[in-house]
Each structure stands twice: as C-alpha cells, then as structure tokens.
A and B are shown apart, each in its own frame.
Chain A
C-alpha cells in the first residue's frame, strides 16, 4: 500500500513538473471533454434566452454575447483575473466577443458598437442557411428580450431604442447612464444573441439550437447529459506560445448531469469526467488519496447561502424575530466544524473580490456585527419581546438538488430548536423549488443559495421590488430609490459608497439568516491542458473556457484511462 502511494506521489510530482512546461506543448485537436459543471445536478432550464432562465449561458454554448471576459488576462497567462465569479467581470478584464469595439457618444447619449466582421451563423437543417452575423441580429435579439413576458420589470428602462446604423454597427440610445449597461445586455445572464430564423423555427426546441458560439448543441437527455459538437465555422482563435490556433480544440463537450455527489466523485476518480468543477471540502482528502494525479483549484463560492424569512408573513414581519434567529445560529461553529475551516464567516451579499464594495465585518456597525455572534440567551429574549416566549414552528422549503443545503438545513434546525423554534423541512425538486419562489407561493422559510452576480445586482435582484431573486420580499421605497441612484452614478467611488450603505442596511434588517460562504474545489486530470480551473467569462458562461481546452490523449492513455 505504501509503495503504491509512493509511486503515485512520484508520478504526481513528475506530472506537476511536466505541467509547468505544459504551455510548451503543441495543442492537439480532437477528443471529447467530459465535464461535471458547477451545476452538475441540474439540467438545462430553457434553451430560449427570452425565458430569462439564469442558466442560459451555461447551457447554450452555441450562443455568444457582445462582450466577455478576456482569458488572456487570466492568472494562468500572467494576468490577475481568476475568471471564477458567477456574474462579475471587472472592466479591465473585458473584451469584445461579437463586438469588436465600442464607444460612448453624447447628444444623444448612446453607445456605438462595431461588430466583428465575418462571423458566421452555421447552417442548420430546418432552421437556417449559413450567413453572416450582422447588426440586425443584435437589434432583433434586444427587442425580443425586452418585450418578453418574462423580462424583469424595467430591466432596460434606460435604453430608448436600439438601431442598426449599418451592417456591422449597432447603436444603443440611452435616456440616462446605467452602471450595469454592459452587464445587462453585453455579457450578463440574458445577453445571448440569436438569429430570428431560430425563433421562427422554434428556439425552445433543443434540436433547433444554432449559434455563433464554439460548440453547437447536438444531444440532450434531460437529467442525464448535454452534448455539444464543435462548430466547424467558429471564428475565434487562441495564441499559445506565439502560434495562433483555431478554436475549439476538442470535438465535443459533454455535460454529465449527476444528482448524486458520490456518483460525481466516482466518475472523476475513474476518469469518466475530465473536470469536476464544484467539489465540497469533505470529499477532497479522499479523492486526493485515491487520485493523486488530479490538479486542484480552491475558490470562495460566488453564492451566498441563507434562510430567507418572508417579511410579509408572521412572525417574520417583526425584525426582532429575524434578528433573534440570526443570534441563535452559531456561525463561527459552522465555519470551524461543519466546513472544517473551509468557509468565510462573512462574504455575502458582497463578495470579498468586489473591491471597493466589500467591507470587512469588523468595520461594520455593531448592529451588523452582532448578527454574526452566537447569543441564544438574547435570541430568546428578543423572541419573548416579540410575543413568542415559547418559540414557534414554520415551514422551510429547500432544494433537494443541493447536497450542502440538504445537510446544512438540519443543522440550522438543530440550533433553532434550542430556542424553541422548530422548522418543518420540505425538500423539493429544483423546478418546483424555483417555481415556488418565482410565483411567490413559497413558504415562510426558504433555504437557498443565490449567486453574488456583481456588486450592484447582488442587492438589486434580492432587495428591490419586482425582481426574481427576492424570497424575503423585503424592500423599501427609499432603499429602492438609492439603488436606482447607484445605477445612475458614473463615478465608481460614489457608487461604491452608496452600495456600501445599502449593504449595511439590508444586513441590519436581517431578512435572512446570514450564513457563512464556503470554499469549493475544482479538480481536473493532467491531460486537460490550457486550463487552470477557470469557470466563467460572463454570467455563468463557460463556453470560451472550454473552447480553449485541449486534451493530451497520449498522456491520458499513459495514465491508463
């Protein structure tokens, strides 16, 4: 056993050394990239971006957006960006994807975007012939997105109109400046550009899928797998060691949908998965022991976990009750024991990566700091003052798709039981779980994880009215006005100041039981090249990452897989 471990370690060491010179290798074309993604337990929600499903970019590798993150500025390439955040790209990490360049102009206020020339929509039987991507496609997409019955209220209120100035120039005329202008229709969740031929043929049908992206959806089995074949007319290239290569390298990308964690880990160990993007800390040591050759990356989740309390329902309309429940949960113990130290006590709703927006807990007002202390005696006192001396019982829905949440909620329930508050846990499948919230028919308690997105949207989407991700239904007119002001503020420093105030205020109001944010791990086999654990270059958008990966088939064979 020891000899085997020693040999495996030696091999791992040799591979690590070899990895350092991986960039010197010439990329190979071919192969099938098998991925257990960050959303490995959930199938595609929709193939139509006008459904405003948050996973659109993740599942539609065939679509592209006007802008995306520039992987040439990744840490792996000597830059400073990890490209792990779910919906945040710093301005200096942005590049044009379908856009070649863009410029703000005044009188009238507008953004003029020059599109790349020569990008082709591939031919798709029954949908369209191959043709060039043009400005009219952007105009069509924007107008359809804006008028979709599922569009968020006033999402594009600041855009007066969009016009195709010429074949390759599209202009967005704005009524006012909006700080998230590039996120909302440039690289965000609902920014995918698609042709009108696809809409006419039926954009919701996966068999019709076609786009300018590096991969085209070729097979879909709900709950099992999604396969994407290489786009033969894809336009983008990557420069490796001074040589330019057409993308993508691999022939296919397959998402393996696996609801069961143990199955995901087994698939990774046995080489059935090339990459597993989100591994909880509990499994890391045993996976490392059984597969020492794997490469690893650790990252703080871009998703906060919390127990939301409906403020329109008793007893959660009383802030004392909400604060009491926060005080009853031992969050430090959760970090230390439940997460084994693999978590940050305070990293939501602002993420520590959001420089200028994030404030450390010890700089927060006392009323906020208190919520992250453990004080069951004060919790009981607050409940008594609020008229619940003997506690109460409430229902809480949770998604059975998240192993972590299914484990964590009974722990929270255990803490609350100590102050006489009982939770009736109701696990639901993802579709039913999400639908309960979007229709506002969810229970008083709603346990979920929600992406940080970006420093402004993290507050806007959950704590202003008419938004999708606000299970607590907490909002205030004055608060919403200041949020709008933040969006209208061009000066970064001013905007950051407003957002810090808004963040403090919502923390204090405690519409959620605020919980620690955990670290996740990504693991991949050494035959996966030109990759260092990057996850997304837009809002949950991985296509450019996968397009740049190449597989060393010889190494894979040498390792016995």
Chain B
C-alpha cells in the first residue's frame, strides 16, 4: 500500500530544486544543447520584444536607402524598398515565434489527446485511429500543406491551423507509444483496481509520466514548424506580404537581388539555419536528459 502511495509522488512534476538540477545537468553534461537553449531563448526574446528592439518599423520604406549594405545605420543592410533588414528580421522572429508556438502547441495538444486516448483504450479504437493516422502520414506533408493553404488562402491563422493539424496527427504516434509502455505499470493497474475512472487515470497517472517525450516532441515541433513555415513562405503560401517572414524574405527579394545585394538572402537564410539547428540540438539534449534509459550516458 505504501509503495503504491509513494509512486505517484515520484512522478509528480519536479520541484524547484529539480528544475535547477536539471539545468545544471544540461550545462554540464550537454554543452551543445545548452548552447541551443541559449540561442533559442535569444530567439524568443527577440521575437517577444521586437517592438522594443527594432530600430525601424516593419514596413517602413525609404526608397532613397534601398539595397544598402550593412552599415552603422543599418546593421543588416536594407532591402529593395529601403526597409531595414534588422527590423524586419526581428519582426520576422516575432511572427515565427507566434506561428511556431501556436502551431506546436496545437500539434502537441492534438498528439496528446489522440495518442493518450488510443494508446490507453487500445483495441478497436486504437486500431481504427492508427489506420487513419497511417493514411494521413502516407500523404506527402508539403503537398497537403500547399493544397490546404491554397483552399483556405494565405494568412497566419490558416498556417497555424494547417501546421498544427499536420504535425499533431503525425505526432500522436509517438505519444501513443509512450502511453502503451506506461499503461502496463503497476500504479496504473492499482488505480484501475481502486476504481479510478478513465479520465482520472489519463490525467493523473498517464499524462505526468509521458511528459518527458511530450516536452521533447514540443520542442522539436517548434523547430519543424519554423522550417516548414519558412518553406511555405518561400513557395508563396505563407503569411502574405508585407509580413516579414524569414522564408518569404529569402524567396522574394533574397533571390531577385541575390547578385546585387546578397545580404537579403544571407540574413534570413542564416537565421533559419541557426534557429532550427539550435532547437534540434536542444531537443536532442532534452531527450537524453529526460529519458530514464539514457540517464548516465553522455
């Protein structure tokens, strides 16, 4: 009895001490992941405080200053309409943060709901749902995205919805896998035998124990959404102009003026590369640290 009562305490959300310990372990054992975290946080701060940090407006044109290279006045140069690239990159980060977090959150919620329910219930529910997921995953992701955005039209809400749905359904497979392994644990059987209802079991016993992979899933989704959104903008299906999405900047003036003003392509291209790489290595580090099977490994 006491062992059963003790177990839930062990799997409750970590205390403040545990969080600090976690970060110490991250910086000590996974320096690359820590670097990724620093870059990621910088990215978030830039996006969150773009209004304060940007020296110029998002669409502040100045035709007499068009295509100027990086200088003391325009740190990252100007584009073909004389708009400050640094300001547009910061506002672009803001857009990317909003889209990435909103879409990743939506995707994670969908993944968790679908994965938890099907993984726990099993049987026909699981079989039917997973066949539908199989069918969904057999379609090329980018094609689905392009078709849906073509029908719904370009816009931030549409992009968030489409990316959230696409990644959410695919991600449910990972959550389901984690649930399948957790549901066979003793404490779950104990809760069942004590008469706990399914919602209580899912929320109080299953969900807390699958948080590590869910967190990793969330962080990798953020990176993936940024990359896919850049791709959609590059193809002209993202948030419409003059919104400064990094992909749109790369595709538009970046390519048109590649020879005249290479910074127009380099800056958004580098930004996408660095942020996505940072998120990926952070995700790897989190997985290594949070997965019990990986504990003790470097």
A359 within 8 A of partner (CB):
no
Contact present for B63 and A330 (CB under 8 Å): yes
B231 within 8 A of partner (CB):
no
Query: Residues of A contacting B59 with CB < 8 Å?
Result: 410, 413-414, 417
Max count, chain B CB within 10 A of own CB: residue among A334, A409, A410: A410
B150 within 8 A of partner (CB):
yes
Contact present for B241 and A425 (CB under 8 Å): yes
Number of A-B residue pairs having CB atoms within 8 Å of each other in the complex: 64
A79 CB to nearest B CB, Å: 37
- Interface residue ranges of A316-333 to B (CB < 8 Å): 330, 333
Contact present for A262 and B255 (CB under 8 Å): yes
A129 within 8 A of partner (CB):
no
Max count, chain A CB within 10 A of own CB: residue among B57, B64, B255: B255
Query: Residues of B contacting A409 with CB < 8 Å?
Result: 241
Interface size class of B (residues with CB under 8 A): 20 to 34
Query: Residues of A contacting B257 with CB < 8 Å?
Result: 282
Query: Residues of A contacting B82 with CB < 8 Å?
Result: 337
Contact present for B150 and A337 (CB under 8 Å): no
Contact present for B240 and A425 (CB under 8 Å): yes
0 or 1 for each of A399-418: is its CB under 8 Å from B? (1 = yes): 01001001101110111010
- Interface residue ranges of A465-489 to B (CB < 8 Å): none
Query: Residues of B contacting A205 with CB < 8 Å?
Result: none
Identify A337's interface contact among B63, B154, B255, CB under 8 A: B63
Contact present for B252 and A407 (CB under 8 Å): yes
Contact present for A406 and B252 (CB under 8 Å): yes
A233 CB to nearest B CB, Å: 43
0 or 1 for each of B56-91: is its CB under 8 Å from A? (1 = yes): 010111011010000000000000111100000000
Contact present for B236 and A427 (CB under 8 Å): yes
Q: A410-B59, A411-B61 are in contact. Are A286 and B80 (CB under 8 A)?
A: no
- Interface residue ranges of B23-77 to A (CB < 8 Å): 57, 59-61, 63-64, 66
Closest to A413 in B: B242
Query: Residues of B contacting A426 with CB < 8 Å?
Result: 153-154, 240
B266 within 8 A of partner (CB):
no
Query: Residues of B contacting A429 with CB < 8 Å?
Result: 150
Contact present for A262 and B256 (CB under 8 Å): yes
A180 within 8 A of partner (CB):
no
B125 within 8 A of partner (CB):
no
B259 within 8 A of partner (CB):
yes
Q: A330-B63, A338-B63 are in contact. Are A411 and B81 (CB under 8 A)?
A: yes
The count of residues in chain A whose C-beta lies closer than 8 Å to any C-beta of chain B is 27
A261 within 8 A of partner (CB):
yes
Contact present for B256 and A261 (CB under 8 Å): yes
* A122, B129: Cα distance in complex, Å: 58
Contact present for B236 and A286 (CB under 8 Å): no
A75 within 8 A of partner (CB):
no
* A414, B57: Cα distance in complex, Å: 10
B196 within 8 A of partner (CB):
no
A424 CB to nearest B CB, Å: 8
B260 within 8 A of partner (CB):
yes
Query: Residues of A contacting B150 with CB < 8 Å?
Result: 429
A377 within 8 A of partner (CB):
no
Contact present for A337 and B241 (CB under 8 Å): no
- Interface residue ranges of B250-290 to A (CB < 8 Å): 252-253, 255-257, 259-260
Contact present for B241 and A414 (CB under 8 Å): no
A555 within 8 A of partner (CB):
no
Query: Residues of A contacting B80 with CB < 8 Å?
Result: 282, 338, 407
Q: A403-B256, A411-B81 are in contact. Are A333 and B241 (CB under 8 A)?
A: no
A273 CB to nearest B CB, Å: 18
Closest to B83 in A: A414
Contact present for A283 and B256 (CB under 8 Å): yes
0 or 1 for each of A239-268: is its CB under 8 Å from B? (1 = yes): 000000000000000000000011000000
* A425, B255: Cα distance in complex, Å: 21
Closest to A259 in B: B236
Query: Residues of A contacting B63 with CB < 8 Å?
Result: 330, 333-334, 336-338, 411
* A338, B61: Cα distance in complex, Å: 11
A4 CB to nearest B CB, Å: 17
Interface secondary structure of B, over-half rule: loop
Query: Residues of A contacting B57 with CB < 8 Å?
Result: 417
Max count, chain A CB within 10 A of own CB: residue among B60, B83, B259: B259
Closest to A409 in B: B241
* A398, B150: Cα distance in complex, Å: 15
0 or 1 for each of B143-165: is its CB under 8 Å from A? (1 = yes): 00000001001100000000000
Max count, chain B CB within 10 A of own CB: residue among A338, A413, A414, A415: A414
* A261, B258: Cα distance in complex, Å: 13
Query: Residues of B contacting A282 with CB < 8 Å?
Result: 80, 256-257, 260
Query: Residues of A contacting B64 with CB < 8 Å?
Result: 333, 337
Identify B60's interface contact among A283, A334, A414, CB under 8 A: A414
Query: Residues of B contacting A403 with CB < 8 Å?
Result: 256
* A281, B59: Cα distance in complex, Å: 24
Closest to A263 in B: B255
Identify B259's interface contact among A286, A406, A427, CB under 8 A: A286
Closest to B236 in A: A400
Query: Residues of A contacting B83 with CB < 8 Å?
Result: 414
* A426, B257: Cα distance in complex, Å: 24
Q: A400-B236, A410-B241 are in contact. Are A415 and B61 (CB under 8 A)?
A: yes
* A414, B63: Cα distance in complex, Å: 10
B135 CB to nearest A CB, Å: 27
* A456, B60: Cα distance in complex, Å: 40
* A286, B253: Cα distance in complex, Å: 15
Query: Residues of B contacting A333 with CB < 8 Å?
Result: 63-64
Query: Residues of B contacting A336 with CB < 8 Å?
Result: 63
- Interface residue ranges of A411-461 to B (CB < 8 Å): 411, 413-415, 417, 425-429
Query: Residues of B contacting A261 with CB < 8 Å?
Result: 255-256
Contact present for A425 and B66 (CB under 8 Å): no
A461 CB to nearest B CB, Å: 28
Contact present for A406 and B61 (CB under 8 Å): no
B112 CB to nearest A CB, Å: 34
* A406, B59: Cα distance in complex, Å: 14
Query: Residues of B contacting A417 with CB < 8 Å?
Result: 57, 59
* A417, B83: Cα distance in complex, Å: 14
Max count, chain B CB within 10 A of own CB: residue among A261, A337, A338, A406: A337
Closest to A333 in B: B63
Closest to A412 in B: B61
* A425, B252: Cα distance in complex, Å: 15
Query: Residues of A contacting B153 with CB < 8 Å?
Result: 426, 428
Query: Residues of A contacting B255 with CB < 8 Å?
Result: 261-262
Query: Residues of B contacting A413 with CB < 8 Å?
Result: 59, 242
Identify B242's interface contact among A286, A334, A337, A414, CB under 8 A: A414
0 or 1 for each of A95-111: is its CB under 8 Å from B? (1 = yes): 00000000000000000
- Interface residue ranges of B200-248 to A (CB < 8 Å): 236, 240-242
Given contacts A333-B64, A337-B64, A429-B150, 4 further A-B contacts (CB under 8 A): A282-B256, A282-B260, A334-B63, A407-B256
Pairs A–B under 8 Å by Cβ, sample size 21 = A261-B256, A262-B255, A262-B256, A282-B256, A283-B256, A286-B259, A286-B260, A333-B64, A334-B63, A338-B66, A338-B81, A407-B81, A407-B252, A410-B241, A410-B242, A411-B61, A414-B60, A415-B61, A425-B241, A427-B241, A428-B153
Nearest 10 CB-CB pairings of A with B? A414-B61, A410-B242, A337-B63, A286-B259, A410-B241, A333-B63, A262-B255, A425-B240, A427-B240, A414-B59
Question: Which B residues contact A (CB, under 8 angstroms)?
Answer: 57, 59-61, 63-64, 66, 80-83, 150, 153-154, 236, 240-242, 252-253, 255-257, 259-260
Question: Which A residues contact B (CB, under 8 angstroms)?
Answer: 261-262, 282-283, 286, 330, 333-334, 336-338, 400, 403, 406-407, 409-411, 413-415, 417, 425-429
